[in-house]
Amino acid sequence: MNKSEISSVIRKLAIEAGEKIMEIYGTDDFEVKSKSDESPVTLADETADAHIFAGLRAAFPDAAIVTEEQSDTHSEASDTFFIVDPLDGTKEFIKRRGDFTVNIAYVEAGVPTMGVVYAPAKKRLFLTDANGKSFEEQGDHKADTAGEMKPISVSTPDESALIVVASKSHLTDETKDYIGKYNVADSRSAGSSLKFCLVATGEADLYPRVGRTMEWDTAAGQAVLLGAGGKVVRFDNHEPLTYGKPIFENPYFIAYAPGITLQKA
């Protein structure tokens, strides 16, 4: 497939989905339901999911597509596919904290090579271009008009004074214990895949996740981080985190700027 077209389509769909999400976010009340795994889901998740799926199917009719809200229906095995989290950070959305994102990624041979992470409430948009290089788009984020693309890259970390980013809603004791193995000068919290993006822009050096995630939670953020010179590895053996696994659940992982000596689990 044409990668310039992929980059353009996923950017446009992410912004359009973000607009639909913000319309619901701005209402006085919205229903919160529970899925089979007891995680929350809202009309915003379902509306954005349907919009992105329809847009990808129209643009790329032969592509394999996995979306969070339709994942129970996906039986096709592939290592090259689109993967979508239409509203990553539903808990942040429900609590109206703003740290939620629209995530769309393209995975090739198990590696997320292209992606977009759009945080409509934060007005931040991160994406990769056709060459897999990562940018943060400046401006008002209009679906049909791209703003200035600012190249982003990871920091050169100081191992004596690292900046760590961790989850707002899922900070486990195991994660705290692992962070304690490093010399940390500052720690930050963020919701959803924004944590990957903070490492990608050099606003943080290290993001360990010792907790449950699914492939759609991480693929777009990983693509952005890889395109900014970062790495994402499994927590257990420090091998690259890959996609298209027999199940959608990820192992624990570490996202980081090269130059950090990774500590053992």
Binding residue positions for substrate:
68, 87-90, 217
Rounded distance, CA 230 to CA 96, Å? 30
Beta bridge partners of 33: 41
β-strand partners of 232: 255
Read off the DSSP letter of residue 203: S
d(CA 227, CA 201): 11
Residue 109 class from Cβ within 10 Å (0-12 exposed, 13-18 middle, 19+ buried)? Answer: exposed
Judge whether 10 and 115 are in contact, CB under 8 Å: yes
* Tokens representing residue 117 in the block: 């992470």
Q: HEC states along 30-93?
A: CCEEECCCCCEEEHHHHHHHHHHHHHHHHHCCCCCEEEHHHHHHCCCCCCCEEEEEEEECHHHH
Specify the 3-state DSSP secondary structure of 259: coil
How far apart CA 49 and CA 71 sit, in angstroms, is 11
Residue ranges for the binding site? 68, 85, 87-90, 217
**Binding annotation for Mg(2+):** 68, 85, 87-88, 217
Residue that is written with structure tokens 């998740």 in the block = 45
The CB density around residue 34, as the number of other CB atoms within 10 Å, is: 9
Q: How large is the C-alpha radius of gyration of the chain?
A: 17
